[in-house]
Amino acid sequence: MTQLPQSTQRKLGLVIDLDTCVGCHACVISCKGWNTENYGAPLSDQDAYGADPSGTFLNRVHSYEVQPEQGAAQLVHFPKSCLHCEDAPCVTVCPTGASYKRAEDGIVLVNESDCIGCGLCAWSCPYGAREMDMAEGVMKKCTLCIDRIYNENLPEIDRIPSCVRTCPAGARHFGDLADPESDVSKLVAERGGMDLMPEMGTKPVNKYLPPRPKDRIEDQVDVLAPLLAPVAEEPQGFLGWLDKALDKLPGGRA
């Protein structure tokens, strides 16, 4: 049913720490690895070893440069996957009911046997979270690893999304964002977690933690620093003589 649930009991989602992400793309690879052999159709590649390779991914890492008004530019690695929006436009546009949002945990899924591959859900998503699989002709998207998080065959430590389990930097967190006492909710409150494109009115469940301000070298100068400052702008003594002598050689100071 492509009508959205009034509200969901839980809001399972990710919190992604832009301060911690090192841009290693491990989450991209582990996502592709897990999801190509579990829930739904495999994530196909086209011309994988040829001149123009492309393929279906549910998670991609961009990198952005942020240049503040003053100070040095900062590089921010930016993983992006489905945000499991509360007001998900991809669900309501679906003509067949293949695209749906679960009332119990808020996960947005595609029932691939109902998907006609019209692509309208991908058109409606401002985040580019959905990709049509070229081999299967159905829409693929992040399932929040629904086949891991409830999977009792896995050790408890693995019952989190593959990307979260893999992240070597601890930049990805998984939990219930409807519960204000959950670790992820506390993290969002403490670090000022933000929505992407809030003006689109999609109310994303996933939150991004902004990068912390960089340390500035001027603020860190040691009390002993003045003693380390160069004492003479112009070299004197032996160095002064050497400097002048070298200048006089052919190819010296013009």
Residues that bind other proteins (CB under 8 A): 1-3, 18, 25, 28, 52-57, 60-69, 73-76, 78, 80, 89, 91-98, 114-120, 122-128, 131-132, 134, 136-138, 194-201, 208, 210-211
Q: CA 167 → CA 16, 84, 172, distances in Å?
A: 11, 20, 7
Least gap, CB of 27 to other proteins (angstroms): 11
- Closest to other proteins by CB, 119 or 159: 119
Least gap, CB of 217 to other proteins (angstroms): 18
Pick from 58, 204, 51: nearest CA to 132: 58
- Closest to other proteins by CB, 215 or 234: 215
- Closest to other proteins by CB, 67 or 220: 67
Longest CA pairwise span in the chain (Å) = 87
d(Cα 80, Cα 208) in Å, to the nearest integer? Answer: 10
Amino acid symbol at 116: I
- Closest to other proteins by CB, 72 or 217: 72
Name 223's Cβ contacts closer than 8 Å, sequence gap at least 6: none
In terms of Cβ atoms closer than 10 Å to its own Cβ (0-12, 13-18, 19+), residue 189 is exposed
Least gap, CB of 6 to other proteins (angstroms): 13
Least gap, CB of 112 to other proteins (angstroms): 9
Tokens of 55: 């393929």
Least gap, CB of 22 to other proteins (angstroms): 13
- Closest to other proteins by CB, 70 or 153: 70
Least gap, CB of 146 to other proteins (angstroms): 22
- Closest to other proteins by CB, 124 or 243: 124
Determine the straight-line distance between the first and last CA of the chain, rounded to whole angstroms.
80
Phi, psi (degrees; rounded to nearest 5) at 157:
-65, -25
Q: CA 170 → CA 3, 45, 84, 164, 173, distances in Å?
A: 35, 29, 21, 8, 7
